[in-house]
Amino acid sequence: MSVNTLQHVETFKYFGVVFTSDESPDKGIDTQMSKTNTVLHELYCYVVTKRELSQNTKLLVFKSVFVSILICGHES
């Protein structure tokens, strides 16, 4: 019978959500906002500025991509 030793860590990520040892949600929220800002920038560069796409198409892309990333892991 072997004994497994667990390592104590300050933070760990599980399915994209950051958990901290002090149970503070701030780090997870900061991480999620950083990801969301990156996606928003990319959407702006490659979707919003394109005249070939209708406003409805841009809105659908925004809702499906941006909002999904923003709320990922926070569906409670």
| pLDDT, tens only, 5-57 | 878 878 777 666 667 777 666 666 777 778 778 888 888 888 889 999 999 99
Residue pair 17/73 in contact (Cβ under 8 Å)? The answer is: yes
- Domain residues of the chain, as ranges? 11-71
| For residue 1, pLDDT beyond 70 | no
pTM for the whole thing? 0.49
State the alpha helices, DSSP H only, in 7-74. Answer: 26-43, 55-61, 68-71
CB-based contact 32:74 (threshold 8 Å): yes
